[in-house]
Amino acid sequence: MALGCKYGTHRVIEPVGALPQTAQKLNNDMSTIWDNEILLDVIALNIDSASFTQIEEEAHGDVDKIAAKIMEIVSTRGKQQNPVTGSGGMFIGKVAKIGSALQNRDLKVGDKIASLVSLSLTPLKINKILKVMPEVDRVLIDGQAILFESGIYAKLPDDMDEGLALAALDVAGAPAQTAKLVKPGDRVLILGAGGKSGMLCCYEAMKRVGPTGRVIANIHSERSRKALEDMHLAHDIVVADATKPLDVLNATLKATGGKEVDVVINCVNIQGTEMASILPVRDDGIVYFFSMATSFTRAALGAEGIGKDCLMIIGNGYTKDHAEITLWELRENPQLRKYFEEQYVK
């Protein structure tokens, strides 16, 4: 078959001219592939946390209704893109076929990989949902997916369980961006520190701030405190509802002795946490919104409304070497790895 667009526009059904991520519907016919596509037999979907939370709430926790909603989305759109949050997730699968133009890739049929591009732009066909795992935002399926020529992926490592690797790679952008943004001596606030992306960011921030910096971990309830303390993932742990910005601000200032922070990293998976990220940061500081529940409008107008001149970064899930950085965190911290194995390997 002929070459398709390296970015996948040849799979867009509507609207014509859109890129796959913004498209309303993709062609998910897996019977033939273009010469610059890779066909994969999908084993599991890791649904983006914000997306899974929204679907789970809509389904009132009923796993059959969750499965039905996911099937409805994919059959309608040709991809797993939550129509409410706009986000997707990622998958693990085995290489079934490699297009003739991509034979020089470091892949062979049968290799098991994790996609490092969002399900919101990935042509996906689900034949059957085998199991819904709400405790880890994961869905086991019988299905197939397409990676475009521009699509990035990671071969699953030999030294860890695939569930562990999947859990980490699903949020690989967050700790890798933390490694780029945090400098020695910084005061860093991490919202949603009790989740998997939050913990990985805490660990990376603790490494980067050095002896003169400070990491403040914000959690919603006391449930996560012991794990964070046992793994020494923060200097201070503050309990505050991230949808209540003044509570977060006051708790943060108490922990820092009245000083605003240099960097805020938002890993919360619910809406309405933009101002809790912006209020505690100093002028010329950095706010990194990893959460896919973030509203650009609320963040931009909210910062303007309080006269806060800070650099706000959209949570790009990709940065150079993000897979390697994130997996290495689990290799170099046995306590963190053990925690992830207990929580996310099912």
The model carries a pTM of 0.85
Specify whether 225 is located in the same domain as 250.
yes
Judge whether 259 lies within some domain. yes
Indicate whether 89 and 213 sit together in one domain.
no
Q: Is residue 221 part of a domain?
A: yes
pLDDT tens per residue, range 171-204:
999 999 999 999 999 999 999 999 999 999 999 9
CB atoms within 10 A of CB 285: 21
Q: Is residue 168 part of a domain?
A: no
**Same structural domain for residues 74 and 24?**
yes
> Does residue 152 form part of some domain?
yes
Q: In what order do the strands lie in the sheet with 214-219?
A: 236-239, 214-219, 187-191, 261-266, 281-289, 311-314
pLDDT cut 90: percent of the chain above it: 87
Contacts of 76 (CB under 8 A, 6+ apart): 25
User: Does the residue 182 lie in any domain?
Assistant: yes
Percent of the chain whose pLDDT exceeds 70: 100
Q: Is residue 28 part of a domain?
A: yes
pLDDT tens-digit series, residues 133-142? 999 999 999 9
Range of the domain at 134: 9-156
- Does residue 124 form part of some domain? yes
Torsion sign, CA atoms 239, 245, 250, 252: positive
Query: Does 209 lie in the same domain as 127?
Result: no
In a domain, 330, yes or no: yes
